[in-house]
Amino acid sequence: MQALSFEPCELGPETDVLRARIRAFIAEHVEGLPPELRAQSWSAADPEFSAKLGAAGFIGMTWPRHYGGHAMSALERYVVLEELLAAGAPVGAHWIADRQSGPLLMRFGTRAQCERVLPPITRGELFCCIGMSEPDTGSDLAGVSARAVRSGDGWCVNGTKLWTSGAQVSHYMIALLRTSTESKHGGLTQFLIDMKTPGITVRPIRDLSGAAHFNEVVFEDVWLPADAIIGKEGEGWNQVTAELAYERSGPERFLSSFRLLVELVRVLGQNPDARAAVAIGRLAAHLITLRRMSLAVAAKLALGEDPALEAAIVKDLGAVFEQEIPEIAAALVPVEPSLDHPRAFERVLAQVIMIAPSFSLRGGTREILRGIIARGLGLR
């Protein structure tokens, strides 16, 4: 049984200044947005907002200055992220590039790839998507079948990626492709693909809320130069799994329905009955603890450790919490959720109820996460 640890982590006093800065930015650019848009938070892409955020120095915060970054600590970045998410800022356009693609390129990519892609990411002008799932490959990711075959001095790609969030606004995709059929895990390679390359078709897929955040991306004889490879040929699986702790432990894994909690407290008023007070106190306790656990993982990542198991626990507990909020809100306030109601609560409730099923699907399903935790316990 692997030992779990979530050491208490204190944020330094220097983060107060930064928190004040991002709160001022939020007051100017977020607080006037409609509550139902804020409820979508990091699902909502707004390239203009991302450009303003980049100009203010809040993207690529931990990256080195020569790539346009601001050489700040992971915990300073955490403060900015949690403030943006709690406010429901529309951070979706640059979210993946900032969280995952940039760090991946710095770890495994070439200097030329970094120089090309990272500076415009930090300006909030260049967005990335992640091509992992396929029509027949979801949780069983190593079954990827979209192929890259050597062609001249480059590669020729054919196949389909599915559920690719933000592909319609992204400039680059980081794709996991099959370069060999001899080994299931060892035949995968990551590529940096310019989305303007001929042969790529992006088809937005409308979800049940009516929005189209994710997409089908079809590759038909797409030619990539040799330097599109990220890292080493055949190392794609190891590189992808190295990203997961970053992807699974951040504040976006427990703040997705925070705006509904805010509107719920507003509707309950300052003197709620005992039942409502118990429910709010319990949710607040869970939120405080999830944030502590998430911060503890962030601190470990900053030290270069790989807390993949702890990250899976944060995401699993976080998704349960995010999905409980609409249940509890609906139980305490007996109204019909409505997209057009004059009061914000009904609109935010409607929005969150519809997107809540995705919380335990995206970024690793509940079943996959619990399997990872079970492995950590020595059960498999």
Partner 1 sequence: MQDDATILNDTLDRLLSARVTPGLLRAAEEGTWPGALWQELVGLGLTEIFRGMSDRPWRDAAVVMRMAGRHALPLPLPETILASALLPEEEFDPLEPIAIIAWEEGEEAAWPWPDQVRRAIGISRDGTAHWLAREGEIGAPARSLTREPRHAARVKRGFSSGADARLLAALMRAAQMAGAIERVLALTVEHARTRVQFGKAISAFQAVQHQLAVLAGNAAAAAASVDAAFARQDRSEMPVRGGMAVRDTMAERDMMVAKIHAGEAAGLGAAIAHQLHGAIGFTDEHTLHFYTRRLWSWRAQFGNESEWARELGRTICAAGADSLWLAIATRD
Q: Give contact residues for partner 1 (rule: CB under 8 A).
A: 1, 4-8, 10-13, 15-16, 19, 82-83, 86-87, 258, 261-263, 265-266, 268-272, 274, 276-282, 284-293, 296, 310, 313, 316-317, 367, 369-371, 373-374, 376-380
We find the least distance from the C-beta atom of residue 332 to partner 1, in angstroms, to be: 11
Nearer to partner 1, 86 or 121 (CB): 86
Nearer to partner 1, 222 or 245 (CB): 245
Nearer to partner 1, 81 or 93 (CB): 81
We find the least distance from the C-beta atom of residue 321 to partner 1, in angstroms, to be: 10
Nearer to partner 1, 80 or 353 (CB): 80
Residue holding tokens 């949780």?
139
We find the least distance from the C-beta atom of residue 272 to partner 1, in angstroms, to be: 5
We find the least distance from the C-beta atom of residue 136 to partner 1, in angstroms, to be: 21
For residue 243, give the amino acid letter. Answer: E
We find the least distance from the C-beta atom of residue 78 to partner 1, in angstroms, to be: 11
Nearer to partner 1, 161 or 291 (CB): 291
Nearer to partner 1, 7 or 153 (CB): 7
We find the least distance from the C-beta atom of residue 380 to partner 1, in angstroms, to be: 6
